[in-house]
Chains A and B, each alone.
Chain A
């Protein structure tokens, strides 16, 4: 069942006062999130994945297009979508104690020491943490409290915006395990925004690969990782140091993400693509199905 859906969503950020120059952060994206699955959105920084995550959460209003929650469009917030942010230092109010941070997410009827302690236990913190201020917590503990706040709101969907990127390697595993654990217990739907393919391979069911504000490939994680169809996906897979399936052909990395103010004509990846043809300059490739659930936007066939 589709629980969350983005229909042809656009978001441009004006950068001059006349609004003529715009950063095309999200440039016509449609996707859906199925109930209880983990959808990963991958891409480099500047690919628009964070903006897309914020649009899905309702924090950012798209310029065009609709967000559908269980089939009906919504405006503003309904509390069923919560978020875990990348930077643990910024995600907790420095002048609040853990109790206040977590209980803020509860309605007045449920607000109590017991229920806060219960939620903290779910994220692996003992009740003594109730008294602590954020500056007394380590990075991993802060992220646990942030997760506790998200689940205290009893959400259905949790958007994880690079939830472990800012943490030490040894703490990352703890947090990822916790997230897997919570999903198993509570059946949350996750949208994981991450640039690390190892993590995407580890916890996602489906993956959306974004490049310069567009979706270039989408499909089941196994299928996309084992049989990548877009040269950009292949490049990302080749660059990863994690133990994930290595692509059959190796596309070495070249260049950097193009300007999102003046994106290249035609296919946006053509400036870095070793397989670019004349056609790629002229016409933008559209997403098409290579298999039932695997879509790619590229003229080449690998």
Chain B
């Protein structure tokens, strides 16, 4: 006779082995592992930045303005004498946080819409896809300018300016991924078992396309950070003196020739994080695809 407890335990353990194997496959790619470490450290610092930074990021100190990196100020100070490291740490919650929240909102809504249109097709699907296409052709910056004009510059309009253009991207992406999966025989088998549409969407289709969504989100985090920064730089995003990284670059642009580090340090940080997200995306794509799980 079967021993129930051991079998149940084995089932759970076996489920873990898949996760372990995925992690092992990911770890084999050293560059993407490095990217993950970079992202995690920057995120950790930004999280710390919510409550603590070495100096007050907003407090001007005119006697110590535009100081090059030193022991007291490892990344130097800006034209108001504010410690750049402290400003970067404090600004992470704006740049990274905004991009993350905005893309999470956009991705979630877009994924649901894409799932529904990919599974049900028909009129609902067509409407979702056509509306998505209309939104896709509107450039992010135009939408941002629109929100800035209506709501004023600030957190909310930046958030919406990034979240809204993200929705149709995911709706299209998930739609086409779902289309591929919905024709698999196991979906047909589930229909024969009288399972409902939402059940099939969330239990059979979503788990098998989740890797697509995760990888896209990783890439899109890079894009999102870039958009937050670009809006900040152009003055359409989070206004100064908030130490949002793009805003920092924009505000410092007058010093690019005289004191380049004031511009380049936040600029390089943005670039590093964006590149890291892209490399991480590549690594995840290879490690997560359930179809690549076979041994031979």
Contacts and interface: CB of A to CB of B under 8 A. Distances in A.
Interface of A: 57-59, 77-79, 81-83, 85, 87, 90-95, 97, 99, 101, 104-105, 113-114, 117, 127, 130-133, 135-136, 146, 149-150, 153
Chain B interface size band reads 20 to 34
Contacts of B2: 113-114, 117, 127
Nearest to A60: B188
A91 B185 CA distance: 4
A153 B15 CA distance: 25
B30 interface: no
A82 B185 CA distance: 12
Contacts of B18: 133
Contacts of A131: 7, 10-11, 14
17 contacts: A57-B192, A77-B193, A77-B194, A81-B192, A82-B193, A83-B188, A92-B186, A94-B290, A97-B14, A113-B7, A130-B10, A131-B10, A131-B14, A133-B14, A133-B293, A135-B293, A153-B193
Given A94-B290, A97-B14, A113 B8 contact: yes
Contact of A90 (B4, B185, B190, B195): B185
Contacts of A104: 190, 193, 195
A216 to B, nearest CB: 28
Contact of B290 (A58, A81, A82, A95): A95
A82 B15 contact: no
Contacts of A59: 188, 191-192
A210 to B, nearest CB: 21
B189 interface: yes
A280 B188 CA distance: 39
A57 B193 CA distance: 11
Nearest to A76: B194
Given A95-B290, A104-B193, A113-B7, 5 more contacts: A59-B191, A79-B194, A94-B293, A104-B195, A113-B2
B204 interface: yes
Nearest to B204: A93
A105 B193 CA distance: 6
Contact of B4 (A79, A113, A146): A113
A85 B11 contact: no
Contacts, number: 83
B185 A95 contact: no
Contacts of B189: 82-83, 85, 91, 146, 149-150
Nearest to A99: B11
A214 to B, nearest CB: 25
Interface of B: 2, 4, 7-8, 10-11, 14-15, 18, 184-186, 188-195, 204, 207-208, 290-291, 293-295
Contacts of B293: 94, 133, 135
A132 B15 CA distance: 9
A130 B294 CA distance: 18
A14 to B, nearest CB: 14
Contacts of A97: 11, 14-15
A149 B208 CA distance: 19
B250 to A, nearest CB: 45
Nearest to A106: B193
Contacts of A95: 207-208, 290
A64 to B, nearest CB: 20
Nearest to B290: A94
The interface centre, meaning the residue of B189, B195, B208, B290 with most chain A CB atoms within 10 A of its CB, is B189
Contact of B192 (A58, A127, A136): A58
Contact of A77 (B11, B14, B15, B191): B191
A96 to B, nearest CB: 8
What 4 A-B pairs come out closest when comparing CB atoms?
A85-B185, A91-B185, A131-B14, A90-B185
A130 B293 CA distance: 18
A135 B21 CA distance: 13
B72 to A, nearest CB: 53
Nearest to B291: A94
B115 to A, nearest CB: 15
B194 A78 contact: yes
Nearest to B5: A113
Contacts of B184: 90-91, 93
A150 B4 CA distance: 24
A81 B193 CA distance: 9
Nearest to A152: B193
Nearest to B190: A104
A130 B192 contact: no
Contacts of A105: 193
Contact of A87 (B8, B185, B190, B291): B185
